[in-house]
């Protein structure tokens, strides 16, 4: 990781850039194998984010455009979409 940090931002096509091109995917593969990130439920992530950041459901409602939409999503009565 120290070597990747040292090489970060070097010009592409240089020997150091080529070294970074080899090391970065190796480090990524190692991280994926050693520290897998479990799939997360988007609704649970919303609850977690609201709790951890000290926000309120009303702020989510403001972002989504209505209190009923925020409530429906958080209570799993309304599907969560990318839109």
Q: pLDDT 10s digit of each residue in the chain, 83 long?
A: 999 999 999 999 999 999 999 999 999 999 999 999 888 899 999 999 999 999 999 999 999 999 999 999 999 999 888 77
Cα dihedral sign, 31-32-36-39:
positive
Give the angle subtended at the CA of 67 by the CAs of 65 and 68, to the nearest 5°: 105
pLDDT score at 78? 93
pLDDT score at 81? 82
pTM of the model: 0.53
CB-based burial, 33-61: b 16+ in 10 Å, e otherwise: eeeeeeeeeeeeebeeebeeeeeeeeebb
pLDDT score at 57? 93
pLDDT score at 37? 85
- Number of other residues whose CB lies within 10 A of the CB of residue 70: 22
């Amino acid at each position: 990781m120290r070597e990747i940090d040292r090489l970060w931002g070097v010009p592409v096509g240089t020997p150091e850039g080529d070294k970074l091109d080899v090391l970065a995917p190796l480090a990524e593969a190692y991280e994926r194998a050693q520290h897998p990130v479990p799939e997360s439920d988007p609704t649970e992530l919303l609850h977690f984010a609201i709790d951890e950041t000290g926000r309120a459901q009303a702020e989510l409602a403001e972002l989504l455009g209505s209190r009923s939409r925020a409530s429906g999503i958080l209570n799993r009565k309304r599907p969560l979409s990318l839109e």
